[in-house]
A and B are shown apart, each in its own frame.
Chain A
């Protein structure tokens, strides 16, 4: 018997923490899908390590959301007992792994953002978010380093690796704008010094990715039309499939533990 979804009281701070927690969980899960399938053993470990970094970030953010919400929810309920429309992650991060080049492009676009985002969030007036930022910043910095090195090698590698990397960039580009969008729920937190305005991070992000993409002999698309919806629960068709796998155990055997 399947178990019902929880309801969440999405006050601005709860929603803010949930959005970042969902980002980390979904991308971390995507990386975990590579486990045992990576092109080489060394990269299998690297992808799993990054996935575990993100899972750790997700746990801290979910726990904080639960603490702020005070409705009896916890990290497991947030992860396992919300439907797809209740998930608040960026569309970019739920996109399927595709080939290795596409996975690296996705990681690169996000890590280049997360690196500056978490560094800025270390100044948050919310002590818990500032502490999570201090830990996450080092992890994101390495994710950026790792994905950058690969992107340069793929772009400036063989004709095939170049083509695959450029295809990854072209296909995922329209999902990058959502990282810098702000809604009313977040505007108040930004004004209060709890959250950082992501739009202020965009120039640095663009500078970082432009430099690496150029070094990789690749090109950013001229198209600036951007897809949005993940932050308010309007997801691509891919997230439902991801969640059906992620949640199947808890939905089938509620409360099961190791």
Chain B
């Protein structure tokens, strides 16, 4: 199989039958948005996984810099009081 030079990369998001949000499932190459959507259907929903698809050009995503992960994420590690685990949730509340 040939390589795919100059064909843009797309990120694929699928909303499953019982899911509320679109989740990232992978990426693919396609020349434009229409074919990206069809390729996403053909590659990522073959087993009935999805009811809705988003495709986004990979170059439209702004990502955090891995070299900055200390500054970005470590400060949150020491703030365990931000987790709602210090409260007793009454049974009557049910699923939160």
Write the residues of chain A forming the contact surface with B, with a CB cutoff of 8 angstroms: 36-46, 49, 145-146, 149-150, 153
Contact = CB atoms under 8 A, between A and B. Distances in A.
Interface of B: 1-2, 4, 7, 28-31, 34-35, 38-39, 42-43, 46
17 contacts: A37-B1, A39-B1, A39-B2, A41-B1, A41-B29, A42-B29, A42-B30, A42-B39, A43-B39, A44-B1, A45-B43, A45-B46, A46-B38, A49-B42, A49-B46, A149-B34, A150-B35
Given A149-B34, A153-B31, A40 B4 contact: yes
Given A42-B28, A42-B30, A49-B46, A146 B38 contact: yes
B24 to A, nearest CB: 17
A41 B35 CA distance: 13
B38 A145 contact: yes
B38 A38 contact: no
A108 B12 CA distance: 27
Task: Give the residue among A39, A45, A145, A150 with the most B Cβ atoms within 10 A.
Answer: A45
Contacts of A46: 38-39, 42
B71 to A, nearest CB: 38
Contacts of B42: 42, 45-46, 49
Given A146-B38, A153-B31, A153-B35, A38 B43 contact: no
Contact of A149 (B4, B29, B35): B35
A38 B28 CA distance: 15
B56 to A, nearest CB: 16
B29 A40 contact: yes
Contacts of B46: 45, 49
Given A42-B42, A153-B35, 6 more contacts: A40-B1, A40-B7, A41-B29, A42-B30, A49-B42, A145-B38
Given A46-B38, A46-B39, A149-B38, A38 B30 contact: no
Contacts of A43: 39
Nearest to A47: B42
Contacts of A37: 1
Nearest to B40: A42
A36 B2 CA distance: 10
Contacts of A36: 1
Given A37-B1, A145-B38, A146-B38, A42 B31 contact: no
A54 to B, nearest CB: 15
A164 to B, nearest CB: 16
B43 A42 contact: yes
B31 A38 contact: no
A49 B2 CA distance: 20
A146 B43 CA distance: 14
